[in-house]
Amino acid sequence: MIRRAILCGVGHYLPERVVENAEMETMVDTTDAWIKSRSGIERRHFAAEGELTSDLAVKAAEAALKDAGMNADDIDALVVATSTPDTTFPSVATIVQGKLGTAGFAFDVQAVCAGFVYAMATANSFIQSGQSRRVLVIGAETFSRIMNWEDRTTCVLFGDGAGAVILEAQDGAGTSADAGILSTDLNSDGRFRDLLYVDGGVSSTQTTGVLVMQGKEVFRHAVEKLAQTAHTALETAGLSADDVDWIVPHQANSRIITRTAQKMGVSMERVVMTVQDHGNTSAASIPLALSVAKREGKFQPGQVLVMEAIGGGLAWGAVVLRL
Ligand code: UT7
């Protein structure tokens, strides 16, 4: 017998304002054709003035609670993955806890675009150790606030949004046929920290800073490292690529998503793709994709999902989960 973290609720929230590539053309020297062909992005959502990361997180969490048929006080741990907190502290998670009234403890995880995978692995550990029974895991970002609007190579790629899941403890047999999280794989390599970073912060400039990325280099690492981490996580779970029903990847670039699936030997019919509608929402992209796919009726009980992500750090990882 082993304790498993079962996925029992999913929800998301996207800010009302949709910015099409055509509108981007009016803001920076770019074209719809370039953005679409290089990244697959067609539109993204931007938070309204005064709409904060915690506001998006609360709405996504409410949707996930509704989906699970639970109340806020059923939750005994809350983890928010974000790199765009409302304020330096307290954590977005405690702000969300204050607004929702969840029980137990709450804290943030910061692993940039890999944040949701890190948060899921953390929640899984709390559940497996017996510390927590029901964990609300949220990915929430307002990346539009850290864009350099003078840098057309990055500012057209990112968007705002939030997604949330609820994980609940349930006993499993300890085999790959169990429902719930079957394995996680986390990695980082700080030698590559200059490939993707924000050039400000509390201790350095006392300003927020803006995103800086060497896109080509990140791209090169992404395909190789994502396929590797997915393979490792599947192997740990006692599964192979043939067992994968859905890849739910970090949504940064459709070309990265396609090449990673090819490298894994998984056909594109089994890949959830939302980057065209959301842009890159960093830690929010996987739970957003999960929630949209679930709403579209894509998932069936017993199916195997692989979530994989990479971002600043570099930090990357994967989660294998059976529905
Ligand atoms: O989520 C965290 C992880 N992040 C990622 O996974 C992002 C990884 N990287 C990427 O997705 C891609 O590298 C980008 C989409 C960022 C860029 O695609 P690329 O094929 O690597 O293009 P590039 O940076 O090499 O730029 C190609 C050309 C350049 O022109 P020249 O020098 O070839 O004449 C750029 O100046 O495209 C030009 N360019 C643009 N043109 C129109 C760059 N940005 C734009 C733009 N509009 N917005």
Among 112, 147, 153, name the best residue to mutate to test ligand 1's pocket (greatest count of ligand atoms within 8 A of Cβ): 153
Q: 36 C-alpha vs ligand 1 centroid, how far in Å? A: 11
- Residue 71 a catalytic site member: no
- The answer for residues whose C-beta is within 8 angstroms of residue 269's C-beta and 6 or more apart is none
- Residue 113 a catalytic site member: yes
Q: Delineate the domains of the chain, giving CATH numbers in brackets.
A: 2-172 (3.40.47.10), 180-322 (3.40.47.10)
Question: Rounded to an integer, what distance in angstroms lies between the CA atom of residue 121 and that of residue 320?
Answer: 10
pLDDT of res. 105: 98
pLDDT of res. 276: 98
Ligand 1 site residues, Cβ closer than 6 angstroms:
30-31, 34, 38-39, 113, 152-153, 156, 215-216, 218-219, 222, 252-253, 256, 280, 310-311
Q: 115 C-alpha vs ligand 1 centroid, how far in Å? A: 23
Active-site pick, 124, 250, 253, 278: 250
- Residue 250 a catalytic site member: yes
Distances (CA, A) of 288 to 92, 208, 249, 312: 18, 25, 11, 20
pLDDT of res. 11: 98
Question: Rounded to an integer, what distance in angstroms lies between the CA atom of residue 48 and that of residue 96?
Answer: 18
Distances (CA, A) of 294 to 8, 18, 46, 76, 161: 12, 22, 23, 24, 17
**Residues in the chain with pLDDT values less than 50:** none
